[in-house]
Structure 1
Amino acid sequence: MPPVLVKGALHFMLVYARDGHVEILKYDLRCSCLSLVDVPLVGPGIHGAAILMAMEDRSLGFAHVDGLTLHIWSREMDFNRVASWSHRTIIDLRNLLPIQNTDERLRLIGSVEGSDTVFVTTDLGIYEINVKSQRWKEIWKSEKFRALIPYMSFYNPQ
């Protein structure tokens, strides 16, 4: 997965080969500092079922699929500048997406920066899901993608 840029820092998902443990490596571009950030979940099933995302409120997001349920967390800072994960959204994908084989493992393959939108593969294709509105649309018939990096054009006036 590509890194996620949030508040002047690049965030990379690290997966340890020996036990599948997942952490987040944070590289602050302003001070050239490295730090490790814990993920909101622990366990071997996270790798391949989770992605980092830049949320609409400019916080770091963590999305995870457990069975047919999508969980979204947001990393928030309190008044003492202590960061913690907040469980923001739970979406039952069984009632939302057309899924033919409920035993098939769903995978998150990307997100749209700053829009609370994720991409998920099912046995019938690739779908874009807006987390806020819970609206979805099919974007591809195949489920063979491992990662999806959306391209958005922009205009920079002189």
Structure 2
Amino acid sequence: MPPPPPPPEELEEEVLLRFPPLEPALLVRASLVCKRWRRLVRSPGFWRRFRELHRTPSMLGFLGNIMFGLEGVVADLMGAQPARQSACFVPTADGFRLPDADIRLCRGLDARHGRVLLQRRGVPGSFLMVWDLITGDKHQVPSPLVQHDMVRWTAAVLCAAGGRCDHLRCHRGPFLVVCAGYVSGEAVICTYSSDAGTWSDPIATEQPLQCLNLMPSVLVGNALYFGCLASKTFLKYDLESHEMSVNRLPFTYCLWRLVVLDSGLGLATVHESKLCLWKKTGPEVDAGWTEDRVIELETLLPSDAFLTSPDVVGFADGIDVIFLRAGSVLYTIDTKTDKVKKVYEGERFNSVIPYMSFFAPALGSISTGEGPGVGASST
């Protein structure tokens, strides 16, 4: 009996399209099966359909800000920014490695839409750097003048197109950097546009803001939110109206992080060996908060994780993953499945910033034209 005919190429492509983005090396291995599969996987049309089908990219790794010595530990407990910080990158996807660069003199600030934002301390001063980890492209952004007056500050990076973009392939387009900080008792925000190459005039709110550490931002709809550690307040900046406000939290928790829950603003904290998730509800002016979920950590983490109190140090939007630090060990917790994974052990991180993107090693030079060794788009 003759062998059955090969399946139609359209059916083979449908199978390959459903490979998980979290394991990019699987597509590389599939491309080695036969010339037909290699041609499919290397085609630009395949990657366009792959992005459109999966929509949410994978977490390829994360930036961790390292605290040094007792100074860093005390600063973390007091909600201040340690004077000595260093960033490192930890890959989490098979086959992905950081492009050659020394980021030991950097502080990780944000990552979004295929870019990371770093504060690089150089001579004679510091500046911001926007970096595409897929292509290796770097853009140096001058520090805003108002930053010299800011006692505490942070910044966010995002696609300049906002809601007009699906963010599946915008990492080479124009971007915005939003700098938020504290000046003379007021919250201040200014914005840098890569198209204009300049910073906007700063805007301020008359609502008082204590001099405390600002955490990495959360994007919900058209608004950026910056949590103010230990002050029970957070900043909201509307990207369309360019208005800002200071909002208070009805909680007594000292260590918490803003997260995204069901496409809305949420909060995560550890209280008495439980991971507590709260969701913002009600009208914007007098919005309330309701407890969304409580995850018992004692049944998920090893017993030695509670030798020091675990803390929430980061959040990956789109895949509902929370980063939990227990001593010098870092775990991820999937809030939908309660699955726990140990992802790092060594340095003590005070904040973790995930990097999300589509990626396939050793395919990009032909399939996307984005450089050797990569094949992707980011969001």
Q: What band does the TM-score fall into relative to the shorter chain?
A: 0.7 to 0.9
In the other structure, the counterpart of 2:239 is 29
For 1:31 and 1:66, how far apart are their aligned partners in 2?
36
Q: Deviations over 1:115-158 (max 9, x none)?
A: 3210001136110001121111110013501111010114559x
Contact 2:328–2:348 (CA<8 Å) still a contact in 1?
no
Contact 1:53–1:61 (CA<8 Å) still a contact in 2?
yes
**TM-score (structure 1 length as normaliser):** 0.82
Pick the aligned partner of 1:108 from 287, 309, 312.
312
Contact 1:126–1:143 (CA<8 Å) still a contact in 2?
no
The count of residues paired between Structure 1 and Structure 2 equals 147
Pick the aligned partner of 1:2 from 212, 216, 231.
216
For 1:4 and 1:59, how far apart are their aligned partners in 2?
10
In the other structure, the counterpart of 1:54 is 260
Pick the aligned partner of 1:92 from 296, 319, 332.
296
Q: Which has the higher strand share?
A: 1
For 2:305 and 2:287, how far apart are their aligned partners in 1?
39
Flag the 1:101–1:139 CA change in 2: closer, same or farther, 3 A.
closer
Cα shift at 1:21? 2.7
Aligned counterparts, 1:38-77, within 5 A: 38-42=248-252, 46-47=253-254, 49-55=255-261, 57-77=262-282
Any idea what SS the aligned residue of 2:323 has?
strand
For 2:260 and 2:293, how far apart are their aligned partners in 1?
15
Cα shift at 1:24? 1.1
Any idea what SS the aligned residue of 2:357 has?
coil
Any idea what SS the aligned residue of 1:133 has?
coil
Q: Which has the higher helix share?
A: 2
Q: Which amino acid aligns with 2:237?
A: Y
Deviation >3 Å, runs of 4+: 154-157
**TM-score (structure 2 length as normaliser):** 0.36
Q: Based on CA coordinates, which of the two structures has the bigger radius of gyration?
A: 2
Aligned counterparts, 1:141-152, within 5 A: 141-142=345-346, 144-152=348-356
CA RMSD of superposed structures (Å): 2.3
Cα shift at 1:75? 1.0
For 1:58 and 1:68, how far apart are their aligned partners in 2?
26
5+ residue gaps, structure 1, are none
Bigger Cα displacement from structure 2, 86-95 vs 118-127: 118-127
Any idea what SS the aligned residue of 2:291 has?
strand
Give aligned-pair identity as a percent: 31
5+ residue gaps, structure 2, are 1-214, 359-375
Q: Deviations over 1:52-90 (max 9, x none)?
A: 1122x2100100111311100111236x98522110011
For 2:303 and 2:281, how far apart are their aligned partners in 1?
33
